[in-house]
Structure formats: C-alpha cells, structure tokens
C-alpha cells in the first residue's frame, strides 16, 4: 500500500516538473523586410544570416539612380547632321537639350553633354544662321572648355566659331560655389564627378546631378552669376509602411515579420506579430568596433518568434493540475483508510452471537 502511495506521489511531481519546463524554441520569423539606403553593403552579412535561418528576405531599398538624359536624341541629332539633314538635326538636338535641362545631363559624359549644344550650333551654321548658333557654341565651351573640332571632319567656319566661343569663355570670371551635400552623395557637375566641397565655375549655365542615399536625385540645369551655396539634397524617399510588410507576411503565412530600417550610421530592427503588434525591437550602431557581431546577435534574437499563446485548457499547468486532482482522488481514501485505528472484537466462547 505504501509503495502505491509513493508511486502516485512521484507521478504528481513529474507532472509539475513537466509543466514548469520551458517550451522548445519557436521557429525563426519567416520574413525579413529591409529598407537600407546607404547601408546595403554593411547589412549583407546579417541578411545572409537571416536566409540561413530560413527567413525570406525582401529588400525594399529604393534606387537613387537619377533619371537619364535622352542619349538617343543626341545620337539621332548627330546622325542627321552627318547625313546633311540639318533641320532634323536641330529638332532632335532640341529634344536632347530639353532633356539635359531637366535631368542635369545624367548618364552623359562631359564630351556628350557638350556635343548636345555643339552639334546644334553646327547645324545652325550649316543652315546659314550663325547668329542663332552663338549661344550654343558658348554653352558647349562652358561645359567643356577644352573641346576642339577635327579639321578633317568639320568646316573651317565651324571651327572658327567654336574657337571664338572658347576665347570668350576663357575671359569670363570664375565664381566660387559651395556644394552642400550629405555623406554618401555622388555629385556630378557638367558631366564630371566631383568630391570637392567647393568649386570654381565659369559664369554661365551649368548642369548638376546629385544622387544621395534615401533621397530622390537632385538634377537640373542652373545659372552661375555670383558666389552661392548649392543644395544637393533631393526630397527624402519615404520608407515602406508596416502595413505593406504585414501584407507580404500574411501572403507567406509567417507568424512574425522582422522590419529592418538602416541608415549609414545605425540599424533599427522591429519584430511585428502578423496581427501588427510590435513584439520586440533593437537599435545597433554601424561602423563602431564590434558592431557586426552585435548586429548578428540581435538579429538572431529577434528572428526567434515568441511562442504562441495556447488556450488555458491546453496549457501544461492545466494538465498538471488535472493530474494532481486525479492523484488526490486516489491518495486521499487510501491515506484515510490506512490511518484508521485498529478495531478489536472480543467474542466469548459459547456465546450464541
């Protein structure tokens, strides 16, 4: 009897220990959504870690490439000029000039940018209107002061006009322009990349392209007439909303979504349950000593989704309590029976009862 009681008690204790033991680790969060202008390369090891953990990775980082100038219109104008179709050349090069004004000549070299105006001026000379060509000769010389024409390909009159424009531009004053940029910006002036904070530009019309992380490209034509500060920062590109990431997560059927937003200096990671509630977050600086290791550790922690909340009747504690009650139902009667005082009955010999 005592052995039965002991075995039942041990079973009850085992139920309690099982209920108190931690649950197995939940699977990794199924989706990582990244928005990291200027920090894509720095995040590459962490994103590879997320993929190894079984998560899908969607990079929503916007492209900061500027809108390209109409190179096809430039080539069409040059071809028309070479084929002596000067009216067609003027029309095509007019489209190219309009595109350059809007895009800052993005995608064109300094020579190509100069050719937009040089060939339009040459076509005007060929049409017998050299006075209309002067402004374009000057603009071509402002953009590319060292531009020359091959005497074997171009008429002496055209070469003379360009040389006169170059002399005019050489006599113009140079004006200081300060370039206000953010870290990571790539700046091009008149078709040539520059990293200088201040430049000296010939007075006249110039072309700017500035591509900065997380911002729309700043690109345009502008006049330089006096010393100035030139802002190079375009409008900010908005990060995608949480709702957009959650839609992706629901489509994939994952329990949680990890949203990573990064700049050149820091990373913010937020884990959202698929219902939209934030479960955890972590901020890690970039570029500091040990930041790569810290980023990997925090990423591993946040990839682990929290265990789902089970109904109370399915919890380990509920089953443990039920086991204890069942054991008590057996133990209590046995214990009470075992503790009753002994009963002695004395029967005299020969008694009729």
Per-residue pLDDT of the chain (353 residues; tens, 9 = 90+): 555 554 455 445 444 444 444 444 444 468 999 988 878 788 889 899 999 988 999 998 887 788 899 999 999 999 999 999 999 999 999 999 999 999 999 999 999 999 999 999 999 999 988 777 999 999 999 999 998 888 988 888 889 999 999 999 999 999 999 999 888 889 999 999 999 999 999 999 999 999 988 888 999 999 999 999 988 878 888 888 999 999 999 999 899 999 999 877 889 999 999 999 999 999 998 877 778 888 989 999 998 855 555 555 555 655 555 555 555 555 545 445 555 555 444 455 554 44
Domains in the chain: boundaries: 2-22+311-339, 31-58+243-303, 65-171
3-state secondary structure at position 69: coil
Query: 71-82 and 86-103 are packed helices; what angle lies between their axes, rounded to 10 degrees?
Result: 160
Residue 275 is predicted with a pLDDT of: 92
Residue 320 is predicted with a pLDDT of: 57
Beta-bridge partners for 271: 258, 280
Residue 115 is predicted with a pLDDT of: 96
Distance spanning both ends of the chain, measured CA to CA:
34
Residue 353 is predicted with a pLDDT of: 46
Beta-bridge partners for 232: none
How would you label 46-55 residue by residue, b for 16+ Cβ within 10 Å and e otherwise? bbebbeebeb
Token couple for 175? 């004006």
- Can you tell me the distance from the alpha carbon of 300 to that of 49, in angstroms, rounded to the nearest whole number? 8
Contact present, 249 and 198 (Cβ < 8 Å): no
Residue 114, Cβ density class (10 Å: 0-12 exposed, 13-18 middle, ≥19 buried): buried
Residue 165 is predicted with a pLDDT of: 95
- Can you tell me the distance from the alpha carbon of 135 to that of 73, in angstroms, rounded to the nearest whole number? 20
Residue 13 is predicted with a pLDDT of: 46
Residue 312 is predicted with a pLDDT of: 53
Q: pLDDT for 89-148, tens place per residue?
A: 999 999 999 999 999 999 999 999 999 999 999 999 999 887 779 999 999 999 999 988
Pick 31-58+243-303's CATH classification: 3.40.1090, 1.10.3470, 3.30.420, 3.40.50.
Answer: 3.40.50
Residue 201 is predicted with a pLDDT of: 96
Beta-bridge partners for 37: none
232: closest CA among 216, 254, 250? Answer: 216
């Amino acid at each position: 009897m005592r052995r039965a009681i002991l075995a039942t008690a041990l079973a009850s204790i085992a139920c309690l220990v099982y209920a108190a033991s931690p649950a197995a680790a939940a699977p990794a969060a199924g989706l990582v959504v990244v928005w990291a202008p200027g920090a894509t390369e720095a995040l590459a090891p962490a994103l590879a870690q997320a993929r190894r953990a079984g998560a899908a990775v969607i990079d929503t980082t916007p492209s900061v490439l500027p809108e390209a100038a109409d190179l096809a219109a430039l080539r069409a104008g040059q071809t028309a000029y070479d084929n002596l179709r000067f009216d067609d050349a003027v029309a095509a090069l007019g489209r190219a000039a309009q595109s350059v004004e809007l895009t800052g000549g993005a995608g064109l070299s300094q020579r190509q940018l100069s050719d937009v105006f040089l060939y339009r001026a040459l076509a005007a000379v060929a049409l017998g209107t050299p006075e209309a060509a002067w402004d374009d000769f000057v603009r071509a010389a402002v953009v590319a002061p060292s531009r020359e024409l091959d005497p074997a390909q171009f008429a002496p009159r055209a070469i003379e006009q360009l040389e006169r424009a170059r002399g005019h531009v050489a006599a113009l004053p140079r004006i200081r322009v300060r370039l206000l940029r953010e870290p990571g910006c790539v700046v091009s002036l008149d078709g040539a990349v520059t990293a200088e904070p201040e430049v000296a530009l010939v007075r006249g019309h110039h072309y700017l392209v500035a591509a900065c992380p997380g911002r729309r490209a700043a690109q345009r034509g502008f006049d330089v007439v006096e010393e100035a500060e030139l802002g190079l920062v375009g409008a900010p590109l908005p990060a995608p909303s949480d709702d957009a990431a959650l839609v992706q997560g629901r489509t994939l059927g994952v329990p949680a979504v990890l949203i990573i937003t990064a700049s050149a200096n820091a990373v913010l990671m937020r884990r959202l349950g698929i219902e939209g509630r934030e479960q955890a977050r972590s901020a890690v600086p970039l570029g500091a000593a040990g930041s790569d290791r810290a980023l990997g550790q925090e990423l591993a922690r946040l990839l682990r989704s929290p265990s789902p909340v089970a109904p109370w009747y399915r919890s380990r504690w509920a089953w443990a309590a039920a086991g204890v009650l069942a054991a008590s139902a057996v133990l209590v009667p046995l214990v009470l029976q075992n503790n009753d005082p002994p009963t002695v009955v004395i029967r005299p010999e020969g008694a009729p009862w």
